[in-house]
Structure 1
Amino acid sequence: MTGHGFRADQIDTSKPHSARMYDYFLGGKTHYSVDARAAERVEAVWPDVIPWTRANRAFMHRATRWLATEAGIRQFLDIGTGIPTEPNLHQVVQQAAPASRVVYADNDPIVLAHAQTLMLSSPEGRTAYIHADVTDPEAILAADELHATLDLSEPIALSLNALMHFIGDDQQPYDIVQRLLAPLAPGSYLVLSHGGLDPRPGLSDAVTDLYRSSGIHVQGRTLDQVTAFFDGLELVEPGVVMPHRWKPESERERAEAEKTNLWIYAGVARKG
């Protein structure tokens, strides 16, 4: 595992972290009081943040199941994994296809501390964890753990859920995604969700300012800007949509999705 030798003092508890705030919004327990306070400030301004976060999580589950059952994908690379909240991606995919292989990557020491949870694979499959940052794609792609677990000559699903809105334009987010996709075999997929811009006056700016005041860069993007991450790929129906509208699994879910706007976009696309 890249980043072996984890120590508790590697976790900075003096300032909030986006992954731990996400855990708070999901109702998890793996966060600190500094994260809870920052999350509560966001929720006070933006009450939709909890349904927003949970809709994104549900999209990950549905997209993963679809890739395993409909697209026949057996290899997954999940970057920006976050704190393990069951069911994790490998649990979803290995329930559908037990022999599936999953590699997780994240840069937060607290995720590294929970890496053993992420590596509890089915007997038939395999999981691994890389402690690395999405802004250094080559380090992820060169990691021994990746090559010991995944076969890059076969299709892989690259999962970037609720991650790229933490990457500013000056960090070349579109280039990062292309560099991650470049070595993947034809027939691979990109799964991506990304915060949008709420049309209510001043709301997106207020939320952005709250995150940035906590030392967390965040940048919402328009539907067209999110769709641009999929350039050169074949989008799976229904295209780039709000996550709760991506292949809802029941008529009730479909009806509820049409009534609710959550300003986050998600899509799945195939590499030709």
Structure 2
Amino acid sequence: MKVEKGDVIRLHYTGKVKETGEIFDTTYEDVAKEARIYNPNGIYGPVPIAVGAGHVLPGLDKRLIGLEVKKKYVIEVPPEEGFGLRDPGKIKIIPLGKFRKSGIIPYPGLEIEVETENGRKMRGRVLTVSGGRVRVDFNHPLAGKTLVYEVEVVEKIEDPIEKIKALIELRLPMIDKDKVIIEISEKDVKLNFKDVDIDPKTLILGEILLESDLKFIGYEKVEFEPTIEELLKPKSAEEQESPNEEQQEESESKAEES
């Protein structure tokens, strides 16, 4: 069984820098711990993706096409298809005074985040500090690097409902995907999140990304409940002040106990 563009799969991978062998990303928890890149808040295990949808780096994404399920491969990704070539124009000189005003003492190797004039935030790494000037490199740390991925397509998901659940898992990993009510026809899908406990702002972003993913795998009409418009609508003063049923029951229970 080979992977095709538009397939929803579960992928295990470990990414390394070719020149040094340094591991920078992995779906294996034990590998992450050994490489000292383990994130206690991270989610490990084979990641669900739609092939060709841009869920992984472009150079890896296109090389997944044609791979066989359950086989292991080593894939090399050149810089221009990974994190890009190094751009000398992204090395900036910043007055030392700007750092001091923010209470930051810069030193070589320090990772910083600065806000540009248009309000965009950029992450960079301090290269040198000299004569009241700080050289900061805003290139991605892996820019200019050839990457090597060890990959295994663990599963190619065929069932339409399971495909949608996998994409929900990708975009909203913190929720119980089995609580989402899914209705599908040949070209339409409707997702009901009303039984899911999630922050509205997170759900708005999740719905936007899910709509794009679901249309990529072939659905023409995607509906959500609640809709993005409903989530964006400000609550009235009455809605904000009125307690929900659980709060009412809790208050009544405390009153009876006292």
Look at both structures and tell me which one has the larger radius of gyration over its CA atoms: 2
Task: Compare the two structures and name the one with the higher strand fraction.
Answer: 2
| Short-chain TM bin | under 0.3
TM-score by length of 1: 0.22
Task: Compare the two structures and name the one with the higher helix fraction.
Answer: 1
